[in-house]
């Protein structure tokens, strides 16, 4: 029987596996494996579940039994040499949609925190200062969405239900039935009191929000990013915060992660920071693991039946 191995199981995902009674027959390495531990974990595996572990061409070439990698998310190419996998006949699976609602709720929570200065007041109170932040009401304000896939669509519904006007731009067209006014990118930036990013990172979107586009935003607007740090020119964002062009940045993602302790964002009061945790809810973890197990079990069964897997 084709063995299934999970190479980097976090405590949260281990608890999810336990609730799903899914450990049986699977080799599970809890934590982040070093190179020797990784090789040992996948030595006999036909199918691998991978959350965030680098798998380069040399590793793939050294494990001829491996026929399928189920990546726990959408960004497999950031960790797995997908070209080498295709060359070696290894299928690479990805999972979409499992965290759409969780990420959207996280993005809206960041927006609320930015609008009311929650993080700044929290820091002040812990330091012994009673400082009352002046906030803004979001009801009746305009939220601009860049990207209207699964997460962006959920964000649109949340914001509309909250009483906001929602305008948006999408590279792939506007989904039907959303409470969103479709606009050109520059018009979204000009109209919005807050802009939230929900785009995939690719060559066309890297640095999309550069100095010129930030300058088109309303002065004092809020920027929310729970997508990818590299969508934004970080230096331009910092300059815009310093000048007041941006009123606040609420960020869950960064160009370098973990965020270095000396990063200038950490010294600013006009930013709210989270540790790339938008998807991390028990509900999203369950949906993710259920989908991953379905794919892994299906591929293992196909291998046991002697079927080749299309890369």
| Sequence spans of domains, the chain | 3-98+282-304, 100-273
Tell me: pLDDT of 2 over 80.
no
Q: What is the structure's pLDDT at 141?
A: 98
Q: What is the pTM of this model?
A: 0.89
CATH of domain 3-98+282-304: 3.40.50.720
* Overall average pLDDT of the 20-46 stretch: 92
- Lowest mean pLDDT across 19-23, 26-30, 58-62, 132-136: 19-23
Opening angle at CA 17, ends 26 and 81, nearest 5: 60
Q: What is the structure's pLDDT at 23?
A: 67
Q: Choose the catalytic residue: 228, 234, 248, 287.
A: 228
**What is the chain's mean pLDDT, rounded?**
95
Tell me: pLDDT of 22 over 80.
no
Q: What is the structure's pLDDT at 88?
A: 96
The answer to whether residues 237 and 209 touch, using CB atoms and an 8 Å cutoff, is yes
Tell me: pLDDT of 213 over 90.
yes
- Note every long-range contact of 23-28, with CB atoms under 8 Å and residues 24 or more positions apart, other chains counting: 25/1, 27/3
Categorize the per-residue pLDDT at 133 as very low, low, confident or very high, splitting at 50, 70 and 90: very high
Categorize the per-residue pLDDT at 173 as very low, low, confident or very high, splitting at 50, 70 and 90: confident
Q: What is the structure's pLDDT at 35?
A: 96
What's the CA gap between 168 and 179, in Å, rounded? 10
Q: Choose the catalytic residue: 30, 61, 83, 257.
A: 257
CATH of domain 100-273: 3.40.50.720
The reply to whether 61 belongs to the active site is: no
Q: Choose the catalytic residue: 157, 216, 263, 276.
A: 276
Domains 3-98+282-304 and 100-273 share a fold: yes
Q: What is the structure's pLDDT at 24?
A: 72
Q: What is the structure's pLDDT at 130?
A: 96
Q: How far is CA 188 from CA 141, 182, 197, 230, in A?
A: 13, 8, 12, 20
The reply to whether 123 belongs to the active site is: no
The reply to whether 234 belongs to the active site is: no
Tell me: pLDDT of 166 over 70.
yes
What's the CA gap between 185 and 213, in Å, rounded? 9
What's the CA gap between 54 and 47, in Å, rounded? 16
Q: What is the structure's pLDDT at 309?
A: 87
């Amino acid at each position: 029987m084709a063995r299934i191995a999970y190479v980097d199981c976090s405590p949260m995902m281990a608890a999810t596996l336990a609730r799903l009674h899914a450990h049986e027959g699977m080799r599970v390495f809890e934590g982040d494996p070093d190179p020797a531990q990784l090789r040992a974990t996948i030595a006999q595996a036909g199918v691998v579940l991978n959350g965030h572990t680098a798998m380069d061409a040399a590793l793939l070439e050294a494990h001829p039994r491996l026929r399928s990698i189920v990546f726990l998310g959408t960004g497999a190419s950031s960790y797995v040499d997908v070209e080498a996998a295709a060359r070696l006949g290894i299928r690479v699976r990805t999972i979409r949609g499992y965290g759409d609602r969780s990420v959207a709720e996280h993005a809206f929570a960041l927006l609320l925190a930015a609008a009311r200065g929650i993080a700044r007041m929290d820091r002040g109170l812990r330091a012994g200062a009673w400082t009352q932040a002046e906030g803004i009401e979001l009801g009746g304000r305009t939220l601009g969405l860049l990207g209207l896939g699964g997460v962006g669509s959920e964000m649109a519904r949340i914001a509309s239900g909250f009483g906001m006007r929602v305008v948006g731009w999408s590279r792939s067209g506007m989904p039907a039935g959303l409470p969103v006014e479709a606009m050109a990118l520059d018009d979204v930036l000009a109209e919005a009191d807050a802009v939230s990013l929900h785009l995939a990172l690719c060559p066309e979107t890297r640095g999309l929000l550069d100095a010129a586009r930030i300058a088109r935003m309303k002065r004092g607007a809020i920027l929310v990013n729970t997508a990818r740090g590299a969508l934004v020119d970080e230096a331009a964002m910092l300059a815009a915060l310093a000048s007041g062009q941006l009123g606040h940045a609420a960020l869950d993602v960064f160009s370098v992660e973990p965020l270095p302790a000396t990063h200038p964002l950490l010294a600013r009061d006009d930013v709210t920071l989270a540790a790339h945790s938008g998807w991390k809810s028990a509900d999203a973890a369950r949906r993710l693991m259920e989908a991953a197990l379905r794919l892994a079990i299906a591929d293992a069964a196909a291998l046991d039946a002697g079927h080749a897997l299309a890369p």
